[in-house]
Amino acid sequence: MRAKDIRAKAGAEPITMLTAYDAPTAAVVDEAGIDVILVGDSVGNTQLGHDSTLPVTVDEMASHTAAVARGADDALVVADMPFLSFGVSTEASIENAGRMLKEADADAVKLECGPHTVELTEQLTDLGIPTMAHLGLTPQRENETGLFRQGTDAEGAREILDLARAHEDAGAFSLVLEHVPANLASEVTDELAIPTIGIGAGPECDGQVLVVDEVLGLSEGTAPFSKAWGDVRGEMQRAVEGYREDVESGEFPGEDHSHYEDELEDVY
């Protein structure tokens, strides 16, 4: 899957996207036929034990992205650019984005967008780094905006629509819309030729994305706009408790899981 294949799906077929942060999960997501795997900077929360995405580094993103790329065959692998890895200087932004393709084997990058990322989106695209835009709730700005629904009044909605158009014109191949009213997401989807991929943005986007931990039922609870289709956390707990009980009771390891060497009988 290439960025242009995702772009071509706009208005035709629903696009499916999920996050993944490691090779085995990426393999499951890929084998299930998901179109796009996002190595989200949500890795900070889901895997690294932080309570925000802000501490995530370029090195961490490169490492997780490389693992996902090794686990996935068909899906488009998109690396999220972490806080302050872009937008500070053009050179550093391009170098950091380039690392995701050169070093980590990503197919594209994603940027949390604002007026400051229009020119960068054009530069990255011109250099051959397919770029996914992200508007609405952009958690890297949580100290500025809080983690609330965005685009809820006329001014906020207009700003998102204008920035969406500007990033399409700058060459973005798709746009994530996070936590915005469904009627705003619908309007943006109508206005743009590139596909919109929603999270907490209603059913009228061209595609949907969720954090894989929530879909699996691995996280503690889910966001109100998300859903668990499994109970992986419960399954992990059952397995680990089973192991502990069997070791404590002496049940494990039994004959089946042990090896005795006859030769050694004479030695002792």
Which range binds ligand KIV by CB under 6 A, 23-31, 40-48, 232-240, 241-249? 40-48
State yes or no: is 241 an active-site residue.
Answer: no
Question: In the window 177-206, what residues touch ligand KIV (CB under 6 A)?
Answer: 178, 199
Which range binds ligand KIV by CB under 6 A, 34-42, 116-124, 158-166, 229-237? 34-42
The residue nearest ligand KIV at its CB is 40
Catalytic position from the list 31, 155, 159, 178: 178
Q: Are the CB atoms for 181 and 152 separated by under 8 Å? A: yes
37 to each of 81, 177, 186, how far by Cα in Å? 14, 16, 23
Nearest CB to Na ion, comparing residues 106 and 187: 106
Q: Are the CB atoms for 68 and 38 separated by under 8 Å? A: no
The pair of three-digit structure tokens given for residue 200, joined into one six-digit string: 């907490």
Nearest CB to ligand KIV, comparing residues 99 and 179: 179
The span from the CA of 53 to the CA of 137, in Å, is: 13
The span from the CA of 31 to the CA of 27, in Å, is: 6
Let me know how many helices (H) and strands (E) the chain has, helices first: 11, 8
Which residue from 10, 15, 21, 40 is in contact with ligand KIV, where contact means CB under 6 A?
A: 40
Nearest CB to ligand KIV, comparing residues 93 and 208: 208
Torsion of CA 112, 66, 194, 175, to 10 degrees: -20
Task: Spell out the residues 6+ positions from residue 255 whose beta carbon is closer than 8 angstroms to its own.
Answer: none
Which range binds Na ion by CB under 5 A, 44-52, 79-87, 123-131, 151-159? 79-87
CB of 29 to ligand KIV, least distance (A): 13
**How many binding residues for Na ion (CB under 5 A)?**
3
Q: Does residue 80 belong to the site contacting Na ion (CB under 5 A)?
A: yes
- x/- site string to Na ion, residues 38 to 77, per CB under 5 A? --xx------------------------------------
Question: In the window 201-260, what residues touch ligand KIV (CB under 6 A)?
Answer: 209, 211
Give the DSSP H/E element, type plus range, for residue 136: strand 131-136
Torsion of CA 34, 113, 141, 67, to 10 degrees: 40
Which residue from 37, 66, 176, 205 is in contact with ligand KIV, where contact means CB under 6 A?
A: 176
* CA triple 20-218-53, angle to 5 deg: 55
Picked from ligand KIV, Na ion, none, the partner binding residue 138 (CB below 5 to 8 A depending on kind) is none
| 214-243 burial code (b ≥16 CB/10 A, e <16) | bbbbbbeeeeebeebeeebbeeeeeeeeee
The pair of three-digit structure tokens given for residue 184, joined into one six-digit string: 């705003």
Which range binds ligand KIV by CB under 6 A, 36-44, 91-99, 148-156, 238-246? 36-44
Residues that bind Na ion (CB under 5 A): 40-41, 80
Residues that bind ligand KIV (CB under 6 A): 19, 38, 40-42, 80, 176, 178, 199, 209, 211
| Catalytically annotated residues | 178
